[in-house]
Chains A and B, each alone.
Chain A
Amino acid sequence: MMPKLIKKIEFDKTISKWFKSYDVIAPVSSKEGIHFKRIKDPKEIKLDGNQNSIYPPKNVFLPQSEVLFTVKNDNYEMPDQAPRKRIVFGMRPCDARAVWLLDTIFNKADDLDLYWGKRREKALIISVGCASMCSNGFCDTVGSGPFGKDGSDILITELDDAYFVDPLTSAGEALIKSLPEADDTQGKNAKLIQKGSVIKEHQAADLPRIREKLYEAFNTSIWKDVSESCLGCGVCTYLCPTCFCFDIVDEIDRSERVRNWDTCMFRVYSAEASGHNPRPTKAERTRQRIMHKFAYWVDNEAASGCTGCGRCISQCPVNLDIREMVQEITSLKIQ
């Protein structure tokens, strides 16, 4: 597929053209930092260096709260939640990879989640690579990278005066058909930027070994040690681009059945009606989170469930660092 080019001076014009047939969702600046939002003007877009949003863009496909159906006069009505085609512009490769990973959960051919599926088929993901890695990111160690291609329809590399646009799927190619083609020098420059983005000291994580070690440590007390300072809030999981647990509740006053995000870090998540809680303390809950990311995902999809975006590290109120936790657990010597 031929790579194309958007000159920086023509950027606004190019994006504006999409408004006719698409809703464009892009990073804009907001009170808490960068936030993904539907834009009405290309000037709102904020693509500063390697800064990513605090709130993960997984909510484009799996909103934090979504109505599954409404009951009206004994009829069930499923709302049309994605009436228009959408372009998600400016996702970072870590988040795009997360969507690709979540497709293995929600978008299976024989087991499709209708709500996810509808949103997903009507959306194109245009991700923007990071010329330098963000300070807490470790995407290059968990199977992706600052220019990882998983999940994106189009990958953009920022050059000095233009954006180098690399279509990865046929849908992506169709969208940028009318753009001018990039020449060889620009192609080379883009390659250079992509190569220079990785941090040399970072080593790829040995996932099978981590998985094995985690299973070995399953019944040890190390989980209590690493989770001691955990507060039990939902920051790490709600901000995680691949966490997808949800809870379905009936909002009786609205006659709606709603699906909300939920998190394994809450005590009530696993509490049973009898009062018994199979994960009674923070240790078990933290174990679930780490095991899910680095063992169960590896079991099921041979990929780590962590895309290395670093949100849980930078936003955790007590600075629990998933890198350090995994390190500590895997270096544990079990007799």
Chain B
Amino acid sequence: MRDQMSAPLQEALERMKTDRLVPFDVPGHKRGRGNPELTEFLGADCMAVDVNSMKPLDNLCHPVSVIKEAEALAAEAFGAAHAFFMVGGTTSSVQAMILSSVKRGEKIILPRNVHQSAINSLVLCGAVPVYVNPQTNSRLGIALGMALEDVRRALERNPDAKAILINNPTYYGVCSDLKQITALAHEKGVRVLVDEAHGTHFYFGQDMPISAMTAGADMAAVSMHKSGGSLTQSSLLLCGPAVNENHVRQIINLTQTTSGSYLLLSSLDISRRNLALRGVEIFEKVKRFARYAREEINALGGYYAFGDELVNGDSVYAFDTTKLSVNTLELGLAGIEVYDILRDEYQIQIEFGDLGNILAYLSVGDKTKNVERLISALEDIERLYRRDKTGLLETEYISPEVVLTPQDAFYAEQASLPLEQCVGEVCTEFVMCYPPGIPVLAPGERITQAIVEYIRYARAKGCVLTGPESMDASRLKVWKGK
């Protein structure tokens, strides 16, 4: 048992400071002295540890001392065989999982409601996506988890599949039956990759849905900077015992910076210690906040703040009760509209609004009085803005028809067409509704009338559509071949 009280990277940085090492290396701001305006803005303590790899601080590309120790502590805290500190966001963790598991032409099974980083990885490596339609909840208009039967069928139909990717949980807090799916996939020799961008707390809280490592999955991408409290862009990649970590490191080093930020790395180290020592109490507090807010918001009448009553033993195998997702359709308001009103009229910034829901992100940093403000603002919005709900789009899940692999489509001969003329064509770029950043179209997919209508509707409701070269998605690039 290692000492979870220690934080090797923090300690090494502190030693470096007290040793008063004279810097004749990068970064050129030299502990902030060369950039007084930036130092004034970010703080001298922060600039003093923005340093480069050096022997006492180890090297992220080839860790042999303090980074290695810090990663070992993280692995232990998360119950993994190995942990990688990542500095390119959880996007880089997802990418490393996929690139180290599937090659060009190999199949990977994944639910359609994956984060764009997963499909981006397929453009890079040339693997073939096999989508499992997630079940949907039509009242809420959200995609749920994967049903076990659907996974079984996908595995049977694709005996050559090399890997399966699972969200644990989705942005809204929905978990699939990770343990059974993992067992099923392993029976077939399929590697299990888990996107735990929203699940850091599963490793530390009480009565939480099962974590990837506990479920026996092979790899997991964990956004420490979300519920874990580390700095934005820092992330963890966890590996189970069956994964060759040295191969994974090679894959990571294909795209990772050779100047990993010590601000990000130390934030991972310190946050891991905090979670290991105080995780239970931290997430009990978050759960209390969420439970209270759900009860109060549901008492308002027009909203539906959903929780573990959605659990159905299959497509909602478990629900993450730290999430505060609220459906707004009964008010006649799209989630994105409530999201905008909250910010513009009430100075409350929430995580996202999609077409039917909003998600308020709760964490240990919240204060009771701010939770009260959110509830009261929702009450006020209900009173002032409620309207007839006809005309709101029912559901937002559109099942894709994959014609080309993402890589083939992305690099194919293509032409740009106005959105209206795209029906029937094969798209060669991404269209994302952001947030939550789940693809509406991925490269290689057929553009249907329903998709064109959805894009128009989302744009009219104020969603930001990202991905296409045409910034407002008024045109799409399509495949010229066939």
Do A and B pair up? The answer is no
